[in-house]
Amino acid sequence: MNPSELTILEAAKLMREKKLTAYDLVSSCLERIEADNGEINALVSVSKTALDEAKAIDARRSSGEDLPMLAGIPLAIKDNIMVKGWMASAGSRILENHTAAYDATVVAQLRAQGAIFIGRANMDEFAMGSSSESCHFGVVRNPVDRERVPGGSSGGSAAAVAAGFALGALGSDTGGSVRQPASLCGVTGLKPTYGRVSRYGLIALASSLDQIGPLAKTAADVAVILSAIEGNDPKDATSSGPYETYLPEIDTEPSVEGVRIGIPKEYFLDGMDERVKASVMYAVRQLEKKGAKIVEVSLPTTEYALAVYYLVMPAEASSNLARFDGMRYGLSAGGATLQETYERTRGEGFGAEAKRRIMLGTYVLSKGYYDAYYRKALKARERIRLDFEDAFKVCDVIASPTSPTVAWKIGEKFGDPLTMYLSDIYTISANLAGIPAISVPCGTADGLPVGLQLMGKPFDEKTLLRVACTQQKT
């Protein structure tokens, strides 16, 4: 097997047994990048030091040093996560020449584990998108079918894993941006509980929704990355919780005996691709055969989730993106006056989708509309959270499709924002409620991957990962 096709656990085992070197593993990924990234466009830059770092890891291992599981594992990092000395543009022209002055907390944590950052992953501008078509560095193509989108906004991260450019990746998830591309590319992606992973060093879209999450080929690999990046961070006031290890959940044969899996009736209505529904329900029935108990649950405010999300997220985005004004960092278009500089910089630097969301967010926060829209959305958001709280009184995990469809053709939805927004209909509620959610492959429809989404109780990633690992072994 080509080393780039290995899982993280497989590669780590072979390296511990001295049957594979980090150098050969990284070389294999670089060969894949050289051959295919020109068309797939998953990575916007590739590390020039990865092979030297791999040699250093091999030398440490040869000396007898006991290294962490991620030592020598090549990972891709989404372009909105700071890596010191690397460009961090968030996929936007306005930041295309911005160099990160520090490492994000998650990057520092992975460095300490010996992980090797192989490149920056392409993304929708400022994580605003569901298809990775609104990228300043060009459209990302799905490795499964290069005429189709990989999903977004972490499309580059998902495509890099699917294409063998890296064994794992980091993305960010504001309304499904880790899980939806994982589903469309046939890999696994986790949005942790809000606060489980530090956001320090993440270029913000919507601060109360954003969460950094791992992508990899399997749920077990995702668990390894999560173990490395979670935990309280004094640099992020919203982070919480002690460090945990999920390895006991994946080192032994996982079991779902007695686990209650809720099926929300509001998620299985007309409009879903019937092939997606069939794959998801087949996966649920397989879990039932393994000992899980299937129960019906209700999330009655689901119908309001999309509207709530597209009020809360743009409001926070308009505030967060106000800092990009051409004065401190990034693009500065210049102008005769300060006002003209602002207007030209933001007009030339932001793409169409970023402008659309900034304007919508500014509108709902403006005088006379704040109470009618934004405040009402916050109240509805709390109701959505309480719905999940009620549902988890009768179940441990909630199952649903990740995406209502498989990957669509490039350009098919790009000119229709509302249709594009509907592609996140099953993922946004987890962000609004702050709960953990994972997408795992559960079949195909006409050769295109289908993802099963599992949502869990706050800070109960262990149960979520146990169910996900069991599903992947059925």
Active site residues: 78, 153, 177
Tell which residue, 50, 55, 56, has the closest CA to residue 75. 50
Tell which residue, 180, 157, 179, has the closest CA to residue 75. 157
How far apart CA 293 and CA 282 sit, in angstroms, is 14
Q: Cis link prior to 153 (omega < 30° from 0)?
A: yes
Report whether 381 contacts 308 (CB < 8 A).
yes
How far apart CA 64 and CA 375 sit, in angstroms, is 59
Q: How many CA atoms lie within 13 A of 142 on its CB side?
A: 27
How far apart CA 382 and CA 402 sit, in angstroms, is 22
Residue 417 burial by CB count (10 A; 0-12/13-18/19+): exposed, middle or buried? middle
| Dihedral sign for Cα atoms in the order 384, 390, 393, 398 | negative
| Dihedral sign for Cα atoms in the order 100, 245, 292, 285 | positive
Helix (H) or strand (E) holding 189: strand 188-191
Q: How many other β-carbons are positioned within 10 Å of the β-carbon of residue 100?
A: 18
Q: How many CA atoms lie within 13 A of 229 on its CB side?
A: 35
Report whether 32 contacts 163 (CB < 8 A).
yes
